Chain A
C-alpha cells in the first residue's frame, strides 16, 4: 500500500501544482516552468516538435534534456507509474477487470505495437510537419483537461477505461502508448531498479499477477538479478505484494543493467 499511496499523492500533487498555477510550477506535462526559471519539457513531445519544425529552441531543448536525464539516468520509466494521470484510469480499469473477473475478449495485438507506434509518431511528425502523437495524444487530452478544469476529457477517460477493462488486459499502457515506449527505451540503464532475490522467492507468482509489464519479471524465482528491462515502470507494486521480501528497490546495481536473459 505504501507505494500505491505515495504514487497517488505524487500524481495528484503534480496535477494540483499545475492547476494551482503558481510560481512553483506552470504549464502542463508537455512543457512547464519550475520555480519560474527551470524549463521542463516532455522529451518525446519535444522530439516530435523538432522533427516537425526542424527547429531547435534552446528552452525546449534544455527542458527535454533535463527530464530525459532524470528518468534516463535515475528513475527509469517512473513517469508512467508516478506522474502520468492515465495511470490512474488504467489502474482502475485493471482493478475492475480483476474484481468482476472479466476474461472477455483478447485483442490479438502485436507485442511490439507500442514501439511501432513510437516510430510511426516520429515519422509522421516529420512527414506531416506537425507533432503527430501530440495531436491525438490521449495523455495530452486527459492531463490538460484535469489541469485546466474542463470536462470533455472525461469522454476520453471513459474510452480508455473501457478499452482496458473490456477489450483486453493492459492495452493502453503496454501496447498502445508511444510515450511509455519512449521511456522504456531510454530507461534501460537508469540507476533505480527492482532487485530480486531468488533465494527468498517462494514462487507464489503474486508479483507476476500484479505487474503491469509482467514480461520484465522473467527472473522471478529463477535468478537473483535486478529487473533490467526499461519497460519496468518502477511502480513498486511487486514489492508490495511480495510476502517473502524477495523484491525491493535498489540503486547502484550497475551490473543488473547488463545481465542477459540467459537461463541455460
Chain B
C-alpha cells in the first residue's frame, strides 16, 4: 500500500515538474522565433534604452488608448515581458492629438516632451515604414495609392513618384516613396495596405536607419567642406587591415 502511494507521488511530481518546465521552455522558444521578432513601442518610447529603464509595466498606457492599439507583452510575445507594444497590421496608432497613452504613463517612460504645445504628433518616431517593391502592386504598374491617402501626414511622409512605364509604353507608375525623416511610424499604411501580407511595413528605427561615417563630406555644402581641412589621410595597414574590406575600414 505504502509503496504504491510513494510511487504515485513520485510519478505525479515528476510529470508535473517536467510538464511545467517543458511548457515554460516551449513558451520561451516560441517567443524567440516568433515571426515578427521586433516590437513597435508606444508614442514617446523612441529611445528603447531609455524606455526599458523607465517602464514599470503597469499597462496604464494600454488601458487609456481609445483604440486598443497597445498590448502588454505576455510570455509568448517577443517584446520584453510586461512592456507595451503594438502590431500595426492589427491595430495601428491613430495618433490621437492629445496622446492619452503618454498622459497616462506614471514614470514618463513615454516621453512627456511630446505633450508640450507646438510639439504635436509630428515629433513622434515609433518606427519607419518600408515598402517592399516586389509585392507593392504600384510597382507592377497597377494603380494603388491606399497607403499614400491613408497616411495622416499625407504627401509628406509618403510621396508618389511618377515614372514612365516601359512595359505598356503609355502609362505611368505612381510609386509610394516613404520619406524616412518625416514618417512617424504610426502604421496606418501597414494596416490599410491591400496586399495579403502588407507590402508596406513599419519597422523600429534601429532596424532601418544607417549612419554615415565622419569621413564622407558633402562637397557641395560649404560648411561641411570645412571639415576637410583637418582631415587625416586614411591609409591601409597591411598587417591589421583586411584588404577585402578596405572601403569601410575603421568604422
Measured CB to CB, the residues of A under 8 A from B are: 21, 26-28, 30-33, 39, 41-42, 45-46, 49, 52-53, 55, 57, 59-60, 63, 100, 102, 104, 129-131, 134-137, 140-141, 144-145, 147-148, 150, 152-153, 155-156, 158-159, 161-162, 165-166
The A-contacting residues of B in range 45-86, CB under 8 angstroms, are 49-50, 52-60, 63-64, 72, 74-76, 80-82
* Alpha-carbon distance between A53 and B108 when the two chains are bound, in angstroms: 11
Q: Could you tell me if B23 and A155 are in contact, using CB atoms closer than 8 angstroms?
A: yes
* Those 6 A-B pairs whose CB atoms lie nearest each other, nearest first: A31-B58, A158-B20, A53-B53, A152-B75, A59-B106, A52-B53
- Min CB distance B122 to A, Å, is 25
> In this complex, which of A53, A134, A159 has the most chain B Cβ atoms within 10 angstroms of its Cβ?
A53
B49 surroundings in chain A (CB, below 8 A)? 129
Q: Could you tell me if B59 and A57 are in contact, using CB atoms closer than 8 angstroms?
A: no
* Alpha-carbon distance between A32 and B56 when the two chains are bound, in angstroms: 10
Q: Could you tell me if A141 and B54 are in contact, using CB atoms closer than 8 angstroms?
A: no
Q: Is the C-beta of B27 less than 8 angstroms from some C-beta in chain A?
A: yes
Q: Could you tell me if A158 and B58 are in contact, using CB atoms closer than 8 angstroms?
A: no
* Alpha-carbon distance between A181 and B87 when the two chains are bound, in angstroms: 37
User: Which B residue's beta carbon lies closest to that of A147?
Assistant: B59
* Alpha-carbon distance between A42 and B60 when the two chains are bound, in angstroms: 14
> CB < 8 Å: which of B19, B23, B108 contacts A57?
B108
B81 surroundings in chain A (CB, below 8 A)? 135-136, 140-141
* Alpha-carbon distance between A75 and B13 when the two chains are bound, in angstroms: 37
Q: Could you tell me if B58 and A166 are in contact, using CB atoms closer than 8 angstroms?
A: no
Q: Could you tell me if B106 and A159 are in contact, using CB atoms closer than 8 angstroms?
A: no
Q: Could you tell me if B74 and A150 are in contact, using CB atoms closer than 8 angstroms?
A: yes
Chain B interface main SS type:
helix
With A104-B13, A131-B55, A155-B27 given, name 16 new contacts (CB 8 A): A26-B60, A28-B59, A30-B59, A31-B60, A31-B106, A52-B54, A60-B107, A131-B53, A134-B57, A136-B81, A141-B82, A144-B72, A144-B82, A148-B59, A155-B23, A155-B24
Q: Could you tell me if B17 and A152 are in contact, using CB atoms closer than 8 angstroms?
A: no
Q: Is the C-beta of B225 less than 8 angstroms from some C-beta in chain A?
A: no
* Alpha-carbon distance between A75 and B131 when the two chains are bound, in angstroms: 57
A140 surroundings in chain B (CB, below 8 A)? 57, 81-82
Q: Is the C-beta of B16 less than 8 angstroms from some C-beta in chain A?
A: yes
User: Which A residue's beta carbon lies closest to that of B73?
Assistant: A144
* 20 A-B pairs with C-beta separation under 8 A: A26-B63, A28-B59, A30-B59, A33-B106, A39-B106, A46-B56, A49-B53, A55-B53, A59-B106, A104-B13, A140-B82, A141-B74, A147-B59, A153-B74, A155-B23, A159-B24, A161-B20, A162-B16, A165-B16, A166-B16
User: Which B residue's beta carbon lies closest to that of A32?
Assistant: B58
* Alpha-carbon distance between A57 and B72 when the two chains are bound, in angstroms: 21
Q: Could you tell me if B75 and A156 are in contact, using CB atoms closer than 8 angstroms?
A: yes
B17 surroundings in chain A (CB, below 8 A)? 162, 166
Q: Could you tell me if A41 and B106 are in contact, using CB atoms closer than 8 angstroms?
A: yes
B107 surroundings in chain A (CB, below 8 A)? 31, 46, 49, 53, 57, 59-60
Count of chain B residues with Cβ under 8 Å from any Cβ of A?
Answer: 34
- Min CB distance B30 to A, Å, is 9
Q: Is the C-beta of B243 less than 8 angstroms from some C-beta in chain A?
A: no
Q: Could you tell me if A53 and B63 are in contact, using CB atoms closer than 8 angstroms?
A: no
User: Which B residue's beta carbon lies closest to that of A167?
Assistant: B17
A129 surroundings in chain B (CB, below 8 A)? 49, 52-53
> CB < 8 Å: which of B16, B56, B74 contacts A41?
B56
User: Which B residue's beta carbon lies closest to that of A63?
Assistant: B106
Q: Could you tell me if A27 and B20 are in contact, using CB atoms closer than 8 angstroms?
A: no
> In this complex, which of B63, B64, B76 has the most chain A Cβ atoms within 10 angstroms of its Cβ?
B63
- Min CB distance A54 to B, Å, is 8
* Alpha-carbon distance between A33 and B58 when the two chains are bound, in angstroms: 10
* Alpha-carbon distance between A41 and B59 when the two chains are bound, in angstroms: 12
B34 surroundings in chain A (CB, below 8 A)? none
* Alpha-carbon distance between A32 and B57 when the two chains are bound, in angstroms: 10
* Alpha-carbon distance between A115 and B80 when the two chains are bound, in angstroms: 25
User: Which A residue's beta carbon lies closest to that of B76?
Assistant: A152
User: Which A residue's beta carbon lies closest to that of B52?
Assistant: A130
* Alpha-carbon distance between A158 and B53 when the two chains are bound, in angstroms: 29
Q: Is the C-beta of B135 less than 8 angstroms from some C-beta in chain A?
A: no
Q: Decide yes or no: A45 and B52 within 8 Å by CB, A39-B106, A152-B76, A155-B20 being known contacts.
A: no
- Min CB distance A34 to B, Å, is 12
B57 surroundings in chain A (CB, below 8 A)? 28, 30, 45, 134, 140, 144
Q: Is the C-beta of B21 less than 8 angstroms from some C-beta in chain A?
A: yes
B53 surroundings in chain A (CB, below 8 A)? 49, 52-53, 55, 129-131
Q: Is the C-beta of B9 less than 8 angstroms from some C-beta in chain A?
A: yes
- Min CB distance A242 to B, Å, is 31
* Alpha-carbon distance between A134 and B14 when the two chains are bound, in angstroms: 29
Q: Could you tell me if B75 and A141 are in contact, using CB atoms closer than 8 angstroms?
A: yes
